[in-house]
Amino acid sequence: MKDGTKIEEEKAVADAHPYGLRPFSRSQYINKFKTLTEGIISQKESKRFLKIVQNLKSLKAKDVKNLNIQVMPKLKKNKSDKTGIF
């Protein structure tokens, strides 16, 4: 604050966390995923991913790679990014 006082507060968990004030239901998490990925991944890719992720208990080790999502081709860079750490 301008007078030098500090407001210090900490939340143990987010409101949407299972132990938060307003825990999300599965449908709310799915909706959040769809909202955050809109325009980044296709609807087909979204459905594919959501189907896999909702069956994690039965997922085989060889199928873990399918948890990666593919962004829309128009968003992929043609050249490698030289600003990485390697």
pLDDT (tens place) for every residue of the chain, 86 residues total: 889 888 888 888 888 888 998 999 999 999 999 999 999 999 999 999 999 999 999 999 999 999 999 999 888 876 666 676 66
- Give the whole-angstrom CA distance, residue 51 versus residue 47: 6
pLDDT for the residue 31: 96
Residue corresponding to tokens 């407001």 = 7
Q: pTM of whole model > 0.75?
A: no
SS3 label, residue 60: coil
SS3 label, residue 44: helix
Closest among 38, 69, 65, 67 to 55, alpha carbons compared:
67
